[in-house]
């Protein structure tokens, strides 16, 4: 039984939240402009739970055979399948985590189930004012594989100067054939003995090198998409650009941390004790459901908005003491929700300081459990264990995300 | 007999100096007959891998999956022990960084991990040694250090029992904390703890470890193993595991395929990595993969070659790293600067996570230094080739022809005749070594 199966009815449906965040940044007119571009591309939002696609171009939909509604809200993994190279998946995951660009050949699957190779080129898009990653833009250029070139297997050690983070060279196109074999010579084309380039064999290719012109097409597409995004972000006043223009703000979480935190399906918040009045800098979807607030209403606020007339002030004092001492504590506190019925609820709240990779306390985590919801079902973890597991998962996420070198 | 002196890592609060160890009586809440009556622990019986294969195939992801049940159990119980102060130090207070470079080695400054005690002698020339009940072993840990029982379930569903009695009649495996953690969540998996198995790989135990990796469903949760002679501290069968949410340098290294076995397990060698290693992946089932690796390790054990294992990518990739650092150290062949760091290249170090005890080593940590240290542990090119031949012979390899930059190399096996793949499990007896890379093609 996975804890991810716990119900969490979002305040928004997923589609609404995706559209809303995208429109607010770029205005409603951007969709028309993007639809005029001929390229295949997707735009994702790392700050939404599950890092979903918020826009998919018409070319992309045509290439994959899906409708827009089937794609918006999906994570990129949706188009991968059993034969997608795991190393490539790892490279993309790492590029997202490190907020940098990546270009790698990738095997994807269409709606029909048939596989195809494409050159996947992804870049981060930064907010001009806060240096935060706003979106990732990914361009997909199909590669035919018919005119692939065979090259000497290049290992990372050779020719280091020509390698940078955004380019991965795995080496030549190789087939894992059932019968027969290749005789490979440097710079010659492959001479397949048996099966030709039908789609069955495609899946078993370890890698498929894109041609120079295909790489150029990808770069061109990226630039075009980025231009449109930049232009339309000017209209809304919340500018974006292709390079991080300023240091990431103190209260700005990296997108990789946000993605990691998004895996945790329970109610919790992160607050920053280094900023005056210790504001909330992250709130999980489950927290928003529990309290009935929207995300933009809680970010930047101190948690006291959850307290009210009948909240025991001695409990608040106890919490404050623990925070000052940098200690963990668990309290039972009466909270006031913003749900339709404006009901109050008993919150079994656990708070704990969380250190980042420097070893210093960077945040406090607060994990809320609605007291009436204590599940004593024998098949589940004890509520105390569940609550502590949130703390643990946050610790792992925070510590690891701060280790990224930029 | 080759020996080295080193300070053993303390993994349990009940682990004492080898010299001072006595059979302590009861009252410590251990796993001995004295205390085990009435003891209870949660039991996690994971999905049977075969029965739930579709799930594993489908979960290819560029993103991390939601926190799975096992992960919540490990982290929740660990945090509980953390807040109860059972660890020797707060690992999250240890400064850690990624060393700039191609591979992203991770360095941690941890002055508390290593005891400031006199080093003890370890015999390093025998990978297979019998279990010695008088020495510290995991039946002597306190029950508070145990987090839960873990077993490979029978059917396609997870079964969880929050409070299951520990039954000495029914050989159970446990997950325990490592009181000197390298990272948050550092645990030990101890298969069939009361059976007192010595530190050596067997098929059933490795499969249990692979199950755990698959069940955690998080590519950043890896399991590691150190053989005797490759810096295992305790001669009682155990694996280690922890979370580090970034790729290990070992996982980043490019690979070149060498062979595919009949059951579809692909074996590659790592290119351009300081420690020459093999990567096992694929196979028509996870059991095939696990068994192939076990065959390879049994071969190494029988040939007295120390090695480490890293189980990565949710059990889909298994690295085997033969090494010779301890032998070199005993023979005085390791460079003094490397020795001074007192870093023992065990599985995590070889994977690229370096725990440093001296501030100057941490401040001056560079990819070059890390490389130089790890390179001391690697087998030479020639020796590695020999060892690979032994391994391929032991597991039986297909007659697939390999392309290597224009040349075609046939892999052959020296004993002629047909070898039945299914029964080709070599568990004991000497294997002729010193062979060249000539083998006869399997029919």
Active site residue B238: yes
Which pLDDT score, from 0 to 100, does residue A19 have?
75
List of residues 6+ apart from B383 with CB closer than 8 A: B324
**Widest distance between CA atoms in chain B:** 69
pLDDT bucket at B29, cuts 50 / 70 / 90: confident
Of B106, B185, B219, the CB nearest to A396: B185
Whether this model's pTM surpasses 0.90: no
Asked if B272 lies within 8 A of A157 by C-beta distance, the reply is yes
Asked if A329 is an interface residue toward chain B (Cβ–Cβ < 8 A), one would say: no
> Which chain A residue's Cα is nearest to B270?
A155
List of residues 6+ apart from B120 with CB closer than 8 A: B5, B6, B7, B8, B17, B18, B19
Asked if A50 is an interface residue toward chain B (Cβ–Cβ < 8 A), one would say: yes
The pLDDT tens digits for B341-362 are 889 999 999 999 999 999 999 9
Asked if B207 and B191 count as a contact pair (C-beta separation under 8 A), the reply is no
Which pLDDT score, from 0 to 100, does residue A137 have?
96
**B2, two tokens:** 């080759």
> Which chain A residue's Cα is nearest to B156?
A1
Q: Measure the CA–CA gap between A124 and A102, rounded to whole angstroms.
A: 9
Tokens 């930064």 belong to residue? A126
Tell me, what DSSP letter sits at residue A241? E
Tokens 């060249």 belong to residue? B436
pLDDT of A201 higher than 80: no
Asked if B219 is an interface residue toward chain A (Cβ–Cβ < 8 A), one would say: yes
The pLDDT tens digits for B79-120 are 999 999 999 999 999 999 999 998 999 999 998 887 666 677
Q: Measure the CA–CA gap between A387 and A375, rounded to whole angstroms.
A: 12
pLDDT, mean of residues B285-312: 96
Q: Measure the CA–CA gap between A142 and A63, rounded to whole angstroms.
A: 8
Of A152, A259, A396, the CB nearest to B63: A259
How many other C-beta atoms lie within 10 A of the C-beta of residue B124? 24
pLDDT, mean of residues A45-61: 91
Asked if B204 and B191 count as a contact pair (C-beta separation under 8 A), the reply is yes
pLDDT of B61 higher than 50: no
Task: Please give the interface size between A and B, counted as residue pairs whose CB atoms are below 8 Å apart.
Answer: 198
Q: Which of B105, B2, B8 is nearest to B373 (CA)?
A: B105
Which of B79, B102, B155, B363 is the mutation pick for testing A, counting most A CBs within 10 A? Answer: B79
Which pLDDT score, from 0 to 100, does residue B397 have?
75
Distances (CA, A) of A344 to A4, A241, A306, A347: 26, 44, 9, 9
Q: Measure the CA–CA gap between A248 and A261, rounded to whole angstroms.
A: 18
Asked if B164 and B179 count as a contact pair (C-beta separation under 8 A), the reply is no
Q: Measure the CA–CA gap between A363 and A367, rounded to whole angstroms.
A: 13
Asked if B215 is an interface residue toward chain A (Cβ–Cβ < 8 A), one would say: no
Q: Measure the CA–CA gap between B416 and B425, rounded to whole angstroms.
A: 17
Q: Which of residues 132-161 of A touch B (CB under 8 A)?
A: 152-153, 155-157, 160
Which pLDDT score, from 0 to 100, does residue B112 have?
81
> Which chain A residue's Cα is nearest to B77?
A385
Chain A residue numbers with beta carbons less than 8 Å from the beta carbon of B57 are: 82
Asked if B245 is an interface residue toward chain A (Cβ–Cβ < 8 A), one would say: yes
Q: Which of residues 228-267 of A touch B (CB under 8 A)?
A: 259-260, 263-265
Give the bridge partners for A329, in sequence order. A351
Tokens 């279990």 belong to residue? B131
pLDDT of A8 higher than 50: no
Asked if B64 lies within 8 A of A263 by C-beta distance, the reply is yes
pLDDT bucket at A378, cuts 50 / 70 / 90: low
C-alpha B134: how far from chain center: 24
The Cα of B63 is separated from the nearest Cα of chain A by a number of Å equal to: 6
The pLDDT tens digits for B268-277 are 999 999 999 9
Which pLDDT score, from 0 to 100, does residue B28 have?
73
Distances (CA, A) of A310 to A37, A347, A359, B316: 57, 13, 38, 54
Element (H, E) at A3: none
The more confident residue out of B325 and B153 is B325
Of A50, A259, A400, the CB nearest to B246: A400
Asked if B161 lies within 8 A of A378 by C-beta distance, the reply is yes
Asked if B316 is an interface residue toward chain A (Cβ–Cβ < 8 A), one would say: yes
Which pLDDT score, from 0 to 100, does residue A102 have?
94
Residue B313: exposure state from Cβ atoms within 10 A (0-12, 13-18, ≥19): buried
Q: Measure the CA–CA gap between B440 and B427, rounded to whole angstroms.
A: 22
Tokens 């207070």 belong to residue? B93
Chain B residue numbers with beta carbons less than 8 Å from the beta carbon of A151 are: none
> Which chain A residue's Cα is nearest to B158?
A1
pLDDT averaged over every residue in chain A: 80
Buried-state track A216-248, b at ≥16 Cβ within 10 A, e below 16:
ebbeebbebbbebbbebbeeeebbbbbebeeeb
Handedness of CA B311, B314, B315, B318 (dihedral sign): negative
The pLDDT tens digits for A232-269 are 888 887 888 888 776 665 556 888 888 889 889 999 99
Q: Measure the CA–CA gap between B37 and B30, rounded to whole angstroms.
A: 10
List of residues 6+ apart from A258 with CB closer than 8 A: A46, A47, A282
The Cα of B88 is separated from the nearest Cα of chain A by a number of Å equal to: 16
The pLDDT tens digits for B207-264 are 999 999 999 989 999 999 999 999 998 999 999 999 998 899 999 999 999 999 999 9
Asked if A385 lies within 8 A of B61 by C-beta distance, the reply is no
Q: Measure the CA–CA gap between B125 and A45, rounded to whole angstroms.
A: 55
SS3 per residue for chain B:
CCEEEECCCCCCCCCCCCCCCCCCCCCCCCCCCCCCCCCEEEEEEECCCCCCHHHHHHCCCCCCCCCCHHHHHHHHHHHHHHHCCCCCCCHHHCCEEECCCCCCCEEEECCCCCCCCCCEEEECCCCCCCCCCCCCCHHHCCHHHEEEEEEECCCCCCEEEEEEECCCCCCCCEEEECCCCCCCCCEEEECCHHHCCCCCCCHHHHHHHHHHHHHHCCCCEEEEEECCCCCCCCCCCCEEEEECCCCCHHHHCCEEEEEECCCCEEEEEECCCCCCCEEEEECCCHHHHHHHHHHHHHHHHHCCCCEEEEEEHHHCEEEEEEECHHHHHHCCCCCHHHHHCCCCCCHHHHHCEEEECCHHHHHCCCHHHHHHHHHCCECCHHHHHHHHHHHHHHHCCCCCCEEECCEEECCCECCCCCCCCCCCCCCCCCCCCCCCCCCECCC
The pLDDT tens digits for A272-329 are 998 889 999 999 999 999 999 998 899 999 999 999 999 999 999 999 999 999 999 9
Q: Measure the CA–CA gap between B47 and B56, rounded to whole angstroms.
A: 11
pLDDT, mean of residues A381-387: 89
Asked if B362 is an interface residue toward chain A (Cβ–Cβ < 8 A), one would say: no
Asked if A3 lies within 8 A of B100 by C-beta distance, the reply is no
Asked if A375 is an interface residue toward chain B (Cβ–Cβ < 8 A), one would say: no
Tokens 């005797």 belong to residue? B228
A242: left (phi over 0), alpha (psi -120 to 50) or beta: alpha
The pLDDT tens digits for A85-106 are 888 888 999 899 888 999 999 9
The more confident residue out of B40 and A394 is A394
Q: Measure the CA–CA gap between A21 and B272, rounded to whole angstroms.
A: 44
Tokens 């390179």 belong to residue? B375
Q: Measure the CA–CA gap between B157 and B160, rounded to whole angstroms.
A: 10
The pLDDT tens digits for B173-188 are 999 999 999 999 999 9
Which pLDDT score, from 0 to 100, does residue A374 have?
61
pLDDT of A53 higher than 80: yes
Asked if B72 lies within 8 A of A386 by C-beta distance, the reply is yes
Q: Measure the CA–CA gap between A292 and A282, rounded to whole angstroms.
A: 15
Tokens 């001074």 belong to residue? B340
Q: Measure the CA–CA gap between B391 and A12, rounded to whole angstroms.
A: 56
pLDDT averaged over every residue in chain B: 83
Q: Measure the CA–CA gap between B93 and A129, rounded to whole angstroms.
A: 32
The more confident residue out of A395 and B135 is A395
List of residues 6+ apart from A230 with CB closer than 8 A: A239, A240, A241, A242
Q: Measure the CA–CA gap between B383 and B389, rounded to whole angstroms.
A: 10
The Cα of A314 is separated from the nearest Cα of chain B by a number of Å equal to: 23
The Cα of B386 is separated from the nearest Cα of chain A by a number of Å equal to: 23
Q: Helix, strand or coil for residue A249?
A: coil
Q: Which of B414, B404, B405, B339 is nearest to B376 (CA)?
A: B339
Chain B residue numbers with beta carbons less than 8 Å from the beta carbon of A80 are: 60-62
Asked if B98 lies within 8 A of A182 by C-beta distance, the reply is no
Catalytic residue (one of B238, B353, B410, B427): B238
Asked if B67 is an interface residue toward chain A (Cβ–Cβ < 8 A), one would say: yes
Which pLDDT score, from 0 to 100, does residue B27 have?
65
Asked if B63 and A51 count as a contact pair (C-beta separation under 8 A), the reply is yes
Handedness of CA B228, B230, B236, B239 (dihedral sign): negative
In this prediction the ipTM stands at 0.83
Rg (CA), chain B: 21
Distances (CA, A) of A149 to A103, A189, A210, A290, B258: 18, 6, 9, 57, 22
Asked if B62 lies within 8 A of A392 by C-beta distance, the reply is no
pLDDT, mean of residues A28-57: 91
pLDDT, mean of residues A387-395: 96
Asked if A8 is an interface residue toward chain B (Cβ–Cβ < 8 A), one would say: no
Asked if B63 lies within 8 A of A86 by C-beta distance, the reply is no
> Which chain B residue's Cα is nearest to A182?
B403
pLDDT of A44 higher than 70: yes
Asked if A96 lies within 8 A of B257 by C-beta distance, the reply is no
Asked if A93 lies within 8 A of B63 by C-beta distance, the reply is yes
List of residues 6+ apart from B260 with CB closer than 8 A: A176, B266, B267, B282, B397, B398, B400
pLDDT of A331 higher than 60: yes
**B88, two tokens:** 């020797």
Asked if B406 lies within 8 A of A392 by C-beta distance, the reply is no
Q: Which of residues 265-294 of A touch B (CB under 8 A)?
A: 265
pLDDT of A118 higher than 60: yes
Asked if A90 is an interface residue toward chain B (Cβ–Cβ < 8 A), one would say: yes
> Which chain B residue's Cα is nearest to A158?
B272
Q: Which of B331, B310, B349, B328 is nearest to B222 (CA)?
A: B310
Asked if A379 is an interface residue toward chain B (Cβ–Cβ < 8 A), one would say: yes
Asked if B184 lies within 8 A of A392 by C-beta distance, the reply is yes
Asked if B67 lies within 8 A of A206 by C-beta distance, the reply is no
Q: Measure the CA–CA gap between A204 and A192, rounded to whole angstroms.
A: 14
Which pLDDT score, from 0 to 100, does residue B6 have?
81
Of A77, A265, A405, the CB nearest to B63: A77
Asked if A383 is an interface residue toward chain B (Cβ–Cβ < 8 A), one would say: no
Asked if B371 is an interface residue toward chain A (Cβ–Cβ < 8 A), one would say: no
């Amino acid at each position: 039984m996975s804890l991810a199966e716990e119900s969490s009815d979002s305040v928004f449906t997923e589609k609404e939240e995706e559209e809303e965040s995208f429109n607010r940044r770029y205005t409603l007119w951007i969709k028309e402009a993007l639809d005029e571009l001929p390229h295949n591309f997707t735009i994702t939002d790392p700050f939404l739970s599950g890092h979903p696609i918020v826009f998919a171009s018409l070319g992309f939909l045509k290439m994959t055979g899906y409708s827009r509604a089937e794609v918006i809200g999906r994570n990129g993994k949706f188009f991968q399948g059993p034969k997608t190279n795991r190393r490539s998946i790892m490279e993309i995951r790492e590029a997202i985590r490190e907020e940098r660009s990546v270009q790698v050949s990738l095997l994807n699957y269409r709606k029909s189930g048939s596989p195809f190779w494409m050159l996947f080129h992804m870049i981060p898009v930064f907010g001009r004012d806060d240096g935060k990653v706003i979106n990732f833009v990914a361009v997909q250029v199909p590669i035919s594989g018919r005119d692939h070139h065979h090259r000497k297997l290049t290992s990372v050690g050779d020719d280091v100067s020509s390698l940078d983070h955004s380019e991965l060279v795995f080496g030549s196109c190789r087939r894992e054939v059932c019968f027969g074999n290749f005789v490979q010579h440097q710079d010659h084309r492959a001479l397949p003995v048996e099966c030709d380039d039908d789609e069955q064999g495609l899946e078993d290719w370890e890698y498929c090198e894109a041609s120079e012109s295909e790489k150029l097409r990808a770069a061109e597409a990226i630039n075009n998409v980025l231009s449109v995004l930049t232009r339309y972000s000017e209209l809304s006043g919340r500018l974006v650009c292709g390079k991080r223009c300023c240091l990431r703000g103190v209260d700005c979480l990296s997108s990789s941390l946000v993605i990691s935190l998004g895996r945790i399906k329970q109610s919790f918040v992160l607050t920053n004790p280094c900023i005056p009045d210790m504001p909330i800098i992250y709130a999980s979807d489950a927290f928003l459901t529990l309290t009935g607030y929207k995300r933009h209403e809680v970010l930047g606020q101190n948690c006291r908005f959850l307290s009210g007339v009948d909240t025991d002030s001695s409990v608040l004092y106890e919490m404050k003491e623990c925070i000052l001492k940098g200690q963990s504590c668990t309290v039972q506190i009466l909270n006031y929700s913003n749900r339709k019925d404006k009901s109050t609820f008993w919150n079994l709240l656990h708070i704990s300081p969380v250190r980042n990779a420097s070893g210093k306390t960077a945040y406090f985590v607060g994990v809320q459990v609605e007291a009436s919801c204590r599940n004593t079902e024998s098949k589940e973890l004890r509520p105390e264990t569940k609550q502590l597991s949130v703390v643990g998962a946050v610790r792992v996420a925070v510590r690891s995300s701060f280790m990224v070198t930029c | 007999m080759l020996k080295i002196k080193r300070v053993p890592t303390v993994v349990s609060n009940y682990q004492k100096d080898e010299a001072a160890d006595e059979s302590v009586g009861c009252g410590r809440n251990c796993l001995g007959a004295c205390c085990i009556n009435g003891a209870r622990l949660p039991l996690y019986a994971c999905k049977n891998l075969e029965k739930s294969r579709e799930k594993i195939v489908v979960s290819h992801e560029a993103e991390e999956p939601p926190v799975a049940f096992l992960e919540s159990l490990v982290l929740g119980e660990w945090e509980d022990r953390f807040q109860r102060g059972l660890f020797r130090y707060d690992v999250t207070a240890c400064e850690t960084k990624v060393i700039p470079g191609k591979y992203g080695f991770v360095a941690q400054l941890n002055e508390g991990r290593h005891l400031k005690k006199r080093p003890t002698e370890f015999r390093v020339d025998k990978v297979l040694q019998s279990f010695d009940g008088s020495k510290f072993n995991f039946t002597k840990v306190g029950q508070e250090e145990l987090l839960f029982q873990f077993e490979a379930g029978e059917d396609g569903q997870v079964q969880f029992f929050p409070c299951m009695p520990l039954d000495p009649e029914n050989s159970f495996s446990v997950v325990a904390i490592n009181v000197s953690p390298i990272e948050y969540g550092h645990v030990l998996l101890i298969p069939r703890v009361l059976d007192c198995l010595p530190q050596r790989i067997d098929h059933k135990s490795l499969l249990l470890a692979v199950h755990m990796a698959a069940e955690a469903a998080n590519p950043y949760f890896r399991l590691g193993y150190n053989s005797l002679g490759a810096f295992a501290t305790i001669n009682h069968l155990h694996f280690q595991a922890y979370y580090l949410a970034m790729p290990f340098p070992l996982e980043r290294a490019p690979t070149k395929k060498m062979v595919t076995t009949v059951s579809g397990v692909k074996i590659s060698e790592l290119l351009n990595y300081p420690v020459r290693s093999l990567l096992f992946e694929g196979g028509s089932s996870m059991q095939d993969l696990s068994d192939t690796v076990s065959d390879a390790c049994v071969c190494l054990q029988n040939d007295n070659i120390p090695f480490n294992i890293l189980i990565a990518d949710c059990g889909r990739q298994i690295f085997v790293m033969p090494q010779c650092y301890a032998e070199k150290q005993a023979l005085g062949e390791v460079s003094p600067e490397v020795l001074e760091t007192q870093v023992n290249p065990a599985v995590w170090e070889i994977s690229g996570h370096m725990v440093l005890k001296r501030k100057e080593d941490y401040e001056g940590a560079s990819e070059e230094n890390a490389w130089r240290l790890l390179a001391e542990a690697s087998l030479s090119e020639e020796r590695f080739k020999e060892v690979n031949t032994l391994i391929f012979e032991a597991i039986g390899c297909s007659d697939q022809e390999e392309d290597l930059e224009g040349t075609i190399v046939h892999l052959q096996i020296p004993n002629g005749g047909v070898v039945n793949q299914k029964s080709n499990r070599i568990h004991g007896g000497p294997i002729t070594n010193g062979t060249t890379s000539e083998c006869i093609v399997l029919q």
